[in-house]
Structure formats: C-alpha cells, structure tokens
Structure 1
C-alpha cells in the first residue's frame, strides 16, 4: 500500500469514528450549507493531489 493510500485510509477512519457534529459554511447567496463527510473527503483528495503536483 502506498503512503498516500495509508494517509487516506487513516483519514477516513478518523472521520468515520468521530461523533457527528454539524458544521456549516455560507454559500455565495448567504445561505448556510451543511458540511458533509463527502465534502471533507473531496477536499482532502484535492489537497493530496496538489501536494503530489508540488513534489513532482
């Protein structure tokens, strides 16, 4: 298993094992949008890809 796969797996486990706490962000129209686990995963993947791009 590659290092990035280990990091992703540990991150997902950390997200899945935490008690749910609602978080919100404000969209362009000023409405509150609930932050989901899928959103967090997506951002983590984007950051990981950016780190890979910098490394290369």
Structure 2
C-alpha cells in the first residue's frame, strides 16, 4: 500500500457505494406527472449540443 493510500484510509471513513433509484417527474401541459427517462435526457442533451454548434458557426 502506497503512502497516499495510507493517508486516505486513515483520514477518510470509506463508505460502501449504494445505488439509489429515485424517479424524477415533470408536469405536462395537462397537469399530469410524466416520469423523466434516460432517453429524454439524451435527446435534450443532443438538441443542446446542436444549438451550441449552430451558435459557433
């Protein structure tokens, strides 16, 4: 074990990673809650990237 590992192990309490699954929702035009999906986030990120590229051109 290297010196940096010793310092880290003595200085920090190592916590076991926990996977937390929580859902996020948005409210649509009709007032209904719609769960935000990974696909929705990817689509928005791609749209933003296109906008940024357009601005630079």
TM-score by length of 1: 0.64
The Cα RMSD (Å) is 1.4
Question: Which secondary structure does the structure 2 equivalent of 1:33 belong to?
Answer: strand
Q: CA 1:52–1:19 in structure 2 vs 1: closer, same or farther (change >3 Å)?
A: farther
Q: Distance in 2 between matches of 1:45 and 1:22?
A: 22
Please list every run of 5 or more consecutive structure 1 residues that lacks an aligned counterpart in the other structure: 1-17
Does residue 28 (structure 1) correspond to residue 14 (structure 2)? The answer is no
Q: Which has the higher contact order (CA 8 A, sep 6+)?
A: 1
What is the aligned length?
Answer: 39
Larger Rg over CA atoms: 2
4+ residue stretches of structure 1 with deviation over 6 A?
Answer: none
The DSSP-based 3-state class of the residue aligned with 1:40 is helix
The answer for unaligned runs of 5 or more in structure 2 is: 1-18
